[in-house]
Amino acid sequence: MGIYLPIAEISVNVFVLLAMGAAVGFLSGMFGVGGGFLITPLLIFYNIPPAIAVATGANQVIASSVSGVLSHMKRGTLDFKLGGVLLAGGIIGSTGGIYVFAFLRRLGQLDLFISLLYVVLLGTVGGLMLVESINALRATRSGAAPVLKKSGQHNWIHRLPLKMRFRASKLFVSVIPVLGLGAGIGFLSSIMGVGGGFIMVPALIYLLKVPTNVVIGTSLFQIIFTSAYTTLVHATTNQTVDVVLAFILMAGGVAGAQYGAKAGQRLRGEQLRALLALLVLAVAIRLAIDLFVTPPNLYSLSALGLN
Amino acid sequence: MTGRKAFATAIFLSLLAAVVPAKAQSLLPEGIQIGLSTDNVSITAGFSGADLTIFGSLENPDPLVARQNRYDVIVVLEGPPRPVVVRRKDRVLGVWVNLDSETFENVPMSYSVATTRPLQDITEPNSYKQLSLGASNIYMQPADAGDSPATIEEFTTALRERKAATGLYSENVGGVQFLSQNLFRATVRLAPNVPVGTHKARAFLFKSGLFIKESSAQLEIRKSGFEQSIFRVAHNYSFLYGVFAIALAMLTGWLGRLIFRKD
């Protein structure tokens, strides 16, 4: 069944989009990530203009994050204060990102920049995760106890000034790295249409040493607001949020997420991380190939922006 | 055979004798008129391209010329003009990057042509150029006239080629048919991605390869229904639209959890 997307201005198949949303929702529920990093490239592969894929992806991420945060709130695994500080940084980064986005769009380099960012970030994160999870799998197979984070172990981040106490995370740390992390994620959110969970989660665990059980809830909490802000700014400055497209993806996504979360409980942590790493790497490689393969058309047209 | 030919010539001559005095009296020049059954066309959600029929008539056609099919009509439906940037990808360190670009002012967003016969059979290339008629003859005004003619030529060709590939510039040979001596019907193609706005329908009359007259009419193409409302709101009330998109996402997330919760 075809449906006309009012902002993207093309006709697409509803069932393809629903399936796309459900598949990504399933994976996001399974791995505890927003799924924006999968939705946006998939939309681009499906010929949705990248600018619209990014803005709509940010809108879709809100729905899956709300759905996830609700279950974390029930379990009490959410640090509102840490989330709030991350969010403050996120707003700053997102504002900067929107300006860069509009600038690159005028220059005609937006599509390239989005693809490059995806390839570099997904490649790095996916690669690191794969190495880490394979090591963990090897360690459990050989019978050795998994190496846990040693408490009291401090790195340079913990020597920075302006310290703040985050009770729910049992953390006493400078606000500078927290704000910086939030800003970085906000920037990526507005340019890539992602919530940034796939970077936020490892950064909170490995850099700030936040307890793993609080990480996902807190990350999802701040992602709701960062992507809401991103959606709003994209809607007002670029008019690239397609609400019909977003709604179809969400409808498939929220349903898939709950089933995915259940499926995820049956797999072990390091197996889950290895699978996620492979998935992330696959998306990165697919995007990388597109950068190097000779495009079918060397020439492209774009209307000179009215806004 | 020879006998018949001579007979035909005789008739021809006598006809000519009959017509010439009549013409001398009235001296009515040939003209062309087109009519649109509606001055606006609405595109709905499922629009996947369509044929638009335009009717027209010749005024004071010479019956003899008409009978010999020496009248030709070209009908053009031209979309609203917009500035367009054409970009060319080149390899930089193995990666394909948009490098060179050329901006053109007032490029018709769409250009559909319907003709009685193949363009090259109607008149010679020069008259098309003078009339700036046909997708390959529209003058594309470069924004930066200082660029080299070769570059401008290259990007102009690419622009036409891309427009033709997306169906926005199309040609329908045989799309104009005479229904009687005076009346003709033209069928122009509307591409699925036809731009909204004021389109201009123009009809050109040729007699034995000579341009006689032109007539034009305007047509408004607009989106209708639910999709158009969304598009309008997104552009005119973009802040409220953004708030709505966020609220919808939050509601969907919450409902999704209520309906599909598995824990």
Using the Cβ of B155 and the Cβ atoms of chain A, whether some distance falls under 8 Å is answered with yes
Cα A114 to chain center, whole Å?
Answer: 14
**Which residue matches tokens 């946006």?**
A40
B40 touches B198 (CB < 8 A): no
| Angstroms from B180 CA to nearest CA on chain A | 40
Q: How far apart are CA B77 and CA B56, in angstroms?
A: 14
Report CA torsion sign: A182, A187, A193, A199: negative
Residue whose pair of structure tokens reads 């505890």 in the numeric block: A32
**pLDDT tens digit at each of 263 positions of chain B:** 344 444 444 444 444 444 444 444 445 788 888 888 777 888 776 677 788 888 988 888 888 888 888 888 999 999 898 888 888 888 888 888 888 888 888 888 889 999 998 888 888 888 888 888 888 888 888 887 777 888 888 888 888 888 888 888 988 888 898 888 889 999 888 888 788 888 999 999 988 888 888 898 888 888 777 777 888 888 889 899 999 999 999 999 888 888 877 65
Taking an 8 Å cut-off on Cβ atoms, the answer to whether A231 and B250 are in contact is no
Instruction: Supply the pLDDT for residue B7.
Output: 45
**A293 versus A264: which is more confidently predicted?**
A293
Residue B208 CA to residue A124 CA, distance in Å, equals: 70
- Chain A residues lying within 8 Å of B192, measured CB to CB: 11
* Set of chain B residues whose Cβ sits within 8 Å of the Cβ of A295: 89, 96
* Band of pLDDT at residue A298, cut at 50, 70 and 90: confident
- The first and second tokens of residue A109, run together, are 């380099």
Which residue in chain A is spatially nearest to B235 when comparing CA positions? A239
The shortest C-alpha distance from B169 to chain A (Å) reads 14
Chain A positions touching B246 (Cβ under 8 A) are 59, 62, 228, 231-232
Q: What is the pLDDT of residue A154?
A: 57
- Residue A264 near residue A31 (C-beta atoms within 8 A): yes
Predicted complex ipTM: 0.81
Chain A residues whose CB is inside 8 A of the B238 CB are 235-236, 239
d(CA B75, CA B54): 9
Of A71, A111, A236, the CB nearest to B242: A236
Q: Where are the beta strands (DSSP E) in chain A?
A: 2-5, 10-13, 163-166, 171-174, 299-303
- pLDDT, tens only, A111-137: 888 888 889 988 988 898 888 888 888
| CB-nearest partner of B246 from A228, A255, A303 | A228
- The b-or-e profile of A75-97 (16+ CB within 10 A means b, else e) is eebbbeebbbbbbbbbbebbbeb
Counting one residue from chain A and one from chain B, the pairs whose CB atoms sit within 8 A come to 189
In DSSP terms, A173 is beta-bridged to A164
Among B98, B241, B252, beta carbon nearest to A235: B241
Q: CB distance A236–B161 less than 8 Å?
A: no
pLDDT of residue B14: 41
Give the residue carrying structure tokens 């990388």: A288
Cβ A244–B239 below 8 Å, yes or no?
A: no
CA B199-B203-B204 angle, 5° bins? 140
What count of other Cβ atoms lies within 10 Å of the Cβ of residue A272?
A: 18
> Per-domain residue ranges for chain A?
2-142+156-292
CB–CB of B255 and A298 under 8 A? no
* Interface mutation target, options A24, A301, A306, A307, chain B, most CBs of B under 10 Å: A301
- CA–CA dist B260, B31 (Å, integer): 70
The one-letter amino acid code at A229 reads: Y
Distance CA B246, CA A20 (A): 21
Predicted pLDDT of residue B139: 82
Rounded CA separation B204/A27 (Å): 60
Beta carbons of A251 and B248 less than 8 Å apart: no
Interchain contact B257–A (C-beta under 8 A): yes
Sign of CA dihedral A233, A237, A240, A241: positive
Q: What's phi and psi for B61, nearest 5 deg?
A: -70, 150
How much is the pLDDT for B251? Answer: 93
- Which among B163, B235, B245 has the least Cβ separation from residue A59? B245
Cα–Cα distance for residue pair A5/B234, rounded to 1 Å: 13
Nearest CA in chain A to B259: A255
Evaluate whether A249 touches A22 at the Cβ level (below 8 Å).
Answer: no
Question: Which of B155, B241, B252 is facing A247, going by the closest CB pair?
Answer: B252
CA distance B15 to chain A (A): 56
Q: What is the distance in angstroms between the Cα of A192 and the nearest Cα belonging to chain B?
A: 18
Give the containing element (helix H, strand E) for A188: helix A175-192
How many other C-beta atoms can be found within 10 angstroms of the C-beta atom of residue A208?
21
A66 neighbourhood in chain B, CB within 8 Å: 249-250, 252-254, 257
A41 close to A225: Cβ distance less than 8 angstroms: no
B250, amino acid identity? M
Rounded to an integer, what distance in angstroms lies between the CA atom of residue A234 and that of residue A229?
9
Phi, psi torsion values for A246, nearest 5 degrees: -60, -40
Q: Which helix (H) or strand (E) holds B178?
A: strand B176-178
Contact map slice: B 8-47 vs A, CB within 8 A: 44-47
Residues 6+ apart with CB under 8 A from B221: B40, B41, B42, B43, B190, B194, B195, B196, B197, B199
pLDDT digits (tens, 9 = 90+) for A64-121: 888 878 877 877 777 888 888 888 998 899 889 888 888 888 887 888 888 888 899 8
Give Cβ neighbours of residue A306 (< 8 Å, ≥ 6 apart).
none
Residue from the list A64, A233, A239 with its beta carbon closest to the beta carbon of B253:
A64
A-chain CB neighbours of B227 within 8 Å are 4-6, 244
Give the whole-angstrom CA distance, residue A54 versus residue A38: 11
Taking contacts as CB-CB distances below 8 angstroms, the residues of chain B near A292 are: 94-96
Sheet hosting strand B95-108, strand order edge to edge = A299-303, B81-92, B95-108, B141-142
CA-derived radius of gyration, chain A: 19
Q: Residue A299 is nearest to which of B162, B238, B245, comparing CB atoms?
A: B162
